């Protein structure tokens, strides 16, 4: 599309410069010459303006945003077609001078946790206002989140929005899914359908990117990324950034669950959970604590100075008393008298001492020693391997067991236990925790009760009582949902109840032939039928009464089904009234009220002219829409 800078649109908006150019439209900064203020003007590309579907979608964007009044949504001020100059379909919006969230992500990488929450809060607040009106954005991404120079966050581009106020916005080809693939929910990729939970998913992906600094899935092509969103769980935030609070990690995992039923129902519910976490992280009402927990260093004892008297006493205590000469002589005599038998006993004792020493060395220190097993309980298998392998011991997983208290993957016990002994090169048997015993409720929607029962009984779960409700989407006798819902992690022996479809709700369809068309329309609509009224001439049925009805007078018809009414427009013929001597304007109005075309012939120069002749003649029977010529003079 050529640059339209300098053009005057709709005789009011002076385009000054092009600020963005997309696949559907270009956005210009402009001056509203009537109010003398800056605005943003979005102009559809000329080649798309020839496609009625694209034009309708473009207008729906204006209606979607105009239906919303929120400080965090870009306000739409005008919409129209440029009648003079360059042909253009345009939308006028408030001008946001600043940057997109994508610009901040490219510059910053990941956000601080508090900053990310501060950005997400207004985004969810704006979407909550849209969801309350039944409007779904369907294209939440960093490029559509604007941050003004004053710091105000605004959501833009409701071009993909959908809701009761604006209708559908899919393209002519139903197979084309609009939106950015990195932020599309699995249901949008698989079925092309979206509701408020799809926006929740997109915000969850944006939150992931803000907190981690990258998208959860990267691929070589959009199809590959879309496949990952459908078939893989979003990685845990804490697996990539340990300081993320567990509650925030759990909330983002819930918002990006592949099952829409597991997500917050709308942005308002998401916002409440986020605000609760924000309050836990930074409770503004709490006062600063004044206690100072300083580490206490141990007191070192000073060496005691000894008194002179004590030193003298110590010296006195160390003086050895010498043996007398007589005592020494007696000892020498005894040693000489030692017999051969004593010397032999001493040699035997020496031999035994050496043998005991060698045996002790072999058992306690040498090859015959046994290794003391260190405690590995509470650690992981990898921790146990890194602890035991340096000791020459091998590890064997003896059993994996459920445990409500020990985390999954942690060691419950070992054999031998910590402190026990095992032969060098021996093995230590480990019992590993499988974590709490939990089972996932299978997907039961669309199954027969028998098939659902079989699916539940594959696990140690109990099947509870079933209930029945009307449902227009699930055929009668098939499962709508379960309680707990599919995908929920539950304990052993949990009771699962089924909700069975009673099919489409029906109502008696009375005949309204000959009755008032307005009455028929109101009563049939109140009963839940989709009424389509058409109008036709009828010589026998009064104007406004029902000529025919399809279907007509049946005992039961599905609520929401279509009922076609043909309502009478009255007789196709009228009689020419007598308008002689009546002023021209009054005569013309009388004839036009009878749905006749009037041709006027003027004679004379009278200022106020009256009818002097009428063709066809008065009293003639003619069809509505016929031409009547009156002569006035």
604-628 pLDDT tens trace: 888 888 989 999 999 899 998 899 9
Q: Which pLDDT band, with edges at 50, 70 and 90, does 48 fall under?
A: confident
What count of residues does the chain have? 633
Residue 317: is its pLDDT beyond 80?
Answer: no
Domain that holds residue 62: 8-94
Single out the residue of 69, 46, 68 nearest to residue 58, CA to CA. Answer: 46
In a domain, 323, yes or no: no
Task: Please give the biggest Cα pair distance in the chain.
Answer: 183
In a domain, 233, yes or no: yes
- 102 neighbors 144 (Cβ within 8 angstroms): no
Same domain, 17 and 119: no
- What pLDDT does 166 receive? 37
Residue 288: is its pLDDT beyond 50?
Answer: no
Comparison of pLDDT for 26 and 205, the residue scoring more: 205
- What pLDDT does 275 receive? 93
- What pLDDT does 301 receive? 39
Residue 381: is its pLDDT beyond 70?
Answer: yes
Instruction: Report d(CA 111, CA 268) in Å as an integer.
Output: 23
- What pLDDT does 608 receive? 84
Same domain, 88 and 105: no
Q: Is 276 exposed, middle or buried (0-12, 13-18, 19+ CB in 10 A)?
A: exposed
Same domain, 86 and 112: no
Which of 385, 416, 433 terminates a domain? The answer is 433
Same domain, 134 and 252: yes
Which of 457, 474, 501 terminates a domain? The answer is 501
139 given a catalytic annotation = yes
Same domain, 118 and 237: yes
Look at 184-193, 516-525, 598-607 and tell me which has the smallest mean pLDDT. 184-193
pLDDT single digits (tens) 58-88: 777 677 777 788 899 988 888 888 877 778 8
- What pLDDT does 339 receive? 54
Per the structure block, which two tokens stand in for 472?
A: 């227009």
- What pLDDT does 224 receive? 83
* Reported pTM: 0.45
Q: Which pLDDT band, with edges at 50, 70 and 90, does 554 fall under?
A: confident
Instruction: Report d(CA 629, CA 633) in Å as an integer.
Output: 13
In a domain, 131, yes or no: yes
Q: Into how many domains does the chain fold? A: 6
Neighbouring C-beta atoms of residue 323, cutoff 10 Å: 11
- What pLDDT does 359 receive? 57
Same domain, 393 and 452: no
Same domain, 120 and 220: yes
3-class secondary structure for 114-144? Answer: HHHHHHHHHHHHHHHHHHHCCEECCCCCHHH
pLDDT single digits (tens) 89-124: 899 999 998 889 999 999 888 999 999 999 999 999
Same domain, 62 and 203: no
Q: Which pLDDT band, with edges at 50, 70 and 90, does 497 fall under?
A: very high
Residue 382: is its pLDDT beyond 50?
Answer: yes
Same domain, 425 and 553: no
Q: Averaged over 570-579, what is the pLDDT?
A: 90
Instruction: Report d(CA 19, CA 5) in Å as an integer.
Output: 10
- What pLDDT does 345 receive? 66
pLDDT single digits (tens) 340-353: 565 666 666 676 76
Mean pLDDT of all residues belonging to the chain: 81
Same domain, 493 and 512: no
Q: Averaged over 404-429, what is the pLDDT?
A: 85
Residue 134: is its pLDDT beyond 70?
Answer: yes
Active-site residue, from 139, 195, 199, 249: 139
Q: What is the CATH number of the domain that holds 67?
A: 3.30.200.20
Instruction: Report d(CA 1, CA 3) in Å as an integer.
Output: 7
Q: Which pLDDT band, with edges at 50, 70 and 90, does 373 fall under?
A: confident
Supply the angle between the helices 246-255 and 196-212 in degrees, to the nearest 10: 140
pLDDT single digits (tens) 169-226: 333 233 233 347 889 998 888 777 888 999 999 999 999 999 999 999 988 778 788 8
Same domain, 122 and 246: yes
- What pLDDT does 113 receive? 93
- What pLDDT does 314 receive? 39
- What pLDDT does 151 receive? 86
Same domain, 387 and 399: yes
Strands (E), 516-594: 530-536, 546-550, 554-558, 562-568, 573-575
């Amino acid at each position: 599309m050529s640059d339209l800078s300098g053009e005057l649109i709709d005789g009011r908006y002076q385009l000054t410069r092009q600020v963005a150019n997309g696949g559907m439209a270009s956005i210009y900064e402009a001056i509203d010459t009537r109010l003398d203020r800056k605005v943003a003007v979005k102009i559809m590309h000329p080649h798309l303006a020839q496609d009625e579907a694209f034009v309708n979608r473009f207008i729906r964007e204006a209606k979607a945003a105009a239906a919303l009044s929120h400080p965090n949504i870009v306000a739409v001020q005008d919409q129209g077609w440029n009648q003079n100059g360059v042909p253009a379909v345009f939308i006028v919006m408030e001008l946001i001078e600043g940057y997109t969230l994508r610009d901040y992500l490219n510059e910053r990488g990941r956000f601080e946790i508090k900053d990310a929450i501060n950005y997400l809060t207004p985004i969810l607040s704006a979407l909550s206002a849209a969801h309350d009106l039944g409007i779904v954005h369907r294209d939440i991404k960093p490029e559509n989140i604007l941050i003004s120079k004053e710091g105000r966050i605004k959501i833009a581009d409701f071009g993909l929005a959908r809701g009761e106020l604006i209708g559908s916005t899919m393209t002519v080809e139903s197979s084309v899914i609009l939106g950015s693939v990195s932020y599309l929910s699995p249901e949008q990729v698989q079925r092309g359908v979206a509701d408020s939970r799809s926006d929740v998913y997109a915000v969850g992906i944006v939150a992931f990117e803000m907190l981690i600094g990258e998208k959860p899935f990267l691929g070589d092509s959009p199809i590959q990324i879309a496949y990952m969103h459908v078939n893989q769980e979003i990685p845990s935030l804490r697996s990539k950034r340990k300081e993320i609070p567990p509650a925030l990690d759990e909330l983002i995992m819930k918002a990006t669950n592949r099952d829409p039923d597991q997500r917050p129902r709308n942005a308002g519910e998401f916002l409440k959970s986020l605000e609760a976490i924000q309050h836990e992280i930074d409770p503004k009402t709490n006062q600063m604590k004044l206690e100072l927990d300083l580490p206490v260093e141990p007191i070192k004892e000073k060496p005691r100075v000894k008194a002179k008297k004590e030193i003298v006493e110590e010296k006195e205590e160390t003086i050895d008393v010498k043996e007398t000469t007589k005592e020494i002589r007696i000892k020498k005599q005894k040693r000489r008298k030692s017999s051969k038998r004593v010397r032999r006993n001493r040699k035997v004792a020496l031999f035994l001492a050496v043998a005991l020493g060698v045996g002790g060395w072999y058992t306690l220190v040498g090859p015959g020693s046994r290794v003391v097993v260190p405690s590995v309980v509470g650690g992981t298998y990898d921790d146990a391997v890194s602890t035991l392998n340096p000791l020459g011991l091998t590890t064997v997983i003896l059993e994996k067991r459920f445990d409500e208290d020990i985390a999954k993957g942690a060691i419950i016990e070992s054999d031998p236990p910590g402190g026990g002994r095992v032969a060098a090169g021996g093995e230590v048997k480990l019992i590993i925790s499988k974590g709490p015993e939990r089972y996932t409720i299978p997907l039961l929607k669309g199954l027969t009760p028998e098939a659902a029962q079989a699916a539940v009984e594959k696990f140690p779960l109990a099947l509870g009582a079933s209930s029945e409700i009307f449902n227009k989407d699930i055929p009668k006798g098939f499962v709508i949902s379960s309680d707990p819902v599919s995908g929920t992690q539950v304990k052993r022996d949990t009771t699962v109840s089924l909700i069975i479809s009673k099919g489409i709700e029906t109502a008696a369809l009375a005949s309204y032939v000959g009755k008032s068309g307005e009455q028929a329309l109101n009563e049939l609509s109140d009963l839940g039928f989709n009424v389509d009224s058409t109008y036709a001439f009828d010589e026998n049925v009064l104007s406004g009464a029902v000529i025919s009805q399809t279907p007509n007078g049946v005992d039961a018809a599905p609520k929401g089904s279509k009922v076609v009414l043909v309502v009478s427009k009255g007789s196709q013929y009228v009689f020419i009234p007598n308008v002689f001597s009546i002023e021209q304007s009054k005569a013309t109005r009388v004839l036009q009220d009878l749905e006749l075309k009037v041709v006027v012939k003027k004679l004379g120069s009278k200022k106020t002219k009256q009818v002097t002749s009428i063709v066809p003649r008065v009293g003639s029977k003619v069809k509505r829409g016929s031409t009547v010529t009156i002569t006035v003079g």
